Amino acid sequence: MIELAYIGQRYKTGDTCDSTGRYQWDGYTDGTFSPAPTAEENVIPLSKNETFPPVRSCNKGAYWKYLG
């Protein structure tokens, strides 16, 4: 069975990407929203089977939403 992301689906740092596309930062895994990620970190491209990264500028785990 092929699993594909749907628009708005949420992932977190360490999850495996199941659909190639763009993903937008959607808060930190500790429940906070600051410090804000840099402009380059706010929306990231990922390919299928890549691992969702932390926000490197502050080294915090993050949630990511699929944009398409």
**Taking 80 as the threshold, does the pLDDT of residue 4 lie above it?**
no
What's the pLDDT score for residue 2?
54
Q: Please tell me the number of Cα atoms within 13 Å of 48 on its side-chain side.
A: 7
What's the pLDDT score for residue 3?
62
Q: Could you report the per-residue pLDDT of 9-58, keeping only the tens digit for each?
A: 999 999 999 999 999 999 999 999 999 999 999 999 999 999 999 999 99
Closest CA to 60 of 21, 23, 33: 33
Prediction pTM value:
0.90
C-alpha gyration radius of the chain: 11
The DSSP secondary-structure symbol of 16 reads B
